[in-house]
Copies of this chain bind each other. A is one copy, B any other.
């Protein structure tokens, strides 16, 4: 149906060379017109654009990256694609990087530090101009690889105090502590903590929660910690197990909203009064949490903003500038609702 593609090179692609010939100019002018049309005269730019469109020219980033030192790629490693928290962060990153011409190259570590190292090695083959990693707990080799790559990097979600290290996030400990203080304030005494997917952030929330309870003179919480992936269904199961083990529990902090929502749904089904018999609180404040009846108390985390700010910080670093801060605390919001 379509005419033959113009081609002269071995690979059959339309190259800059051909565009140059068609526009009656040199390759370098085509290159300049595409990268920043202000570098050539308006007439030449127009002629080049026209010739390129007519030929169906598509630039080759690989060749460009090879010839210049810039790839316009940013490597991003997140633990999981099935956790909205990280995906929203990704959306924030892309929203900032994409308009600047940068392409995210992402990989999923499944929460495994060794896998993160392997993935980073693979992503560095793209010669990214910058790197975005989730969390601050990495294998020593990962850190070494990062320094030896000489690429600017920003860590997301948690805050880092290491000199020379950049991070954007909030204090997970403080988030956990905020829930604890809220429970104490409300007068709950027999308090439980339920966690799954025991990644560093989950553990940090737990330790903040625990410390705040102790500081308030309450002993250690009843704990239920399982390594499995968090899910709504698991939250229901874990609520059952917690109440079976400690029937008099009057408040439970779930390390994330998936678990907390599952627990709330289970209470609804079993006819357990919330917060009458047992109070519930979660973490992350997923959209559903504000809509359930009773509405779920949760710690709202700024993951979308973290993505945006981390991307902005990386942009600064990639431009060779020094960011305003090397450690950006975006905080969190304690949303007390009806379950506590």
Interface residues of A (CB under 8 A from B): 2, 5, 11-13, 56, 58-63, 65-66, 69, 71, 81-82, 84, 87-88, 90-91, 94, 98, 103-108, 121-122, 124-127, 144-145, 147-150, 231-233, 236, 261-262, 265-266, 268-269, 287-288, 290-293
| Residues on the B chain within 8 Å of A88, using CB | 81-82
Contact A62 B66 (CB under 8 A): yes
- Contact in complex: A232, B62 (CB < 8 Å): no
User: What chain B residues lie within 8 Å of A59 (beta carbons)?
Assistant: 125
**Is A106 touching B106 in the complex (CB atoms < 8 A)?**
yes
A127–B98 alpha-carbon span in the complex (Å) = 18
Q: How far is the CA of A94 from the CA of B13 in the complex (A)?
A: 28
Q: How many copies make up the complex?
A: 2
In the complex, the answer to whether A81 meets B94 with C-beta atoms within 8 Å is yes
Residues of chain B contacted by A144 (CB below 8 angstroms): 2
Nearest 5 Cβ contacts at the A-B interface: A62-B65, A62-B62, A265-B291, A81-B91, A268-B293
- Residues of chain B lying within 8 A (CB to CB) of residue A231: 287
When A69-B11, A90-B81, A150-B12 are in contact, do A126 and B61 touch as well, CB less than 8 Å? yes
CA distance A61 to B128 in the complex (A): 11
Per the bound structure, the CA–CA distance linking A44 and B121 in Å amounts to 23
Residue of B nearest to A149 (CB): B58
* Contact residues in B for A82 (Cβ distance below 8 Å): 84, 87-88, 91
Taking a contact as CB atoms closer than 8 A, the residue among B66, B91, B105 that contacts A63 in the complex is B66
Residues of B with C-beta under 8 A to A232? 287-288, 291
CA of A116 to CA of B268 in the docked complex: distance in angstroms? 43
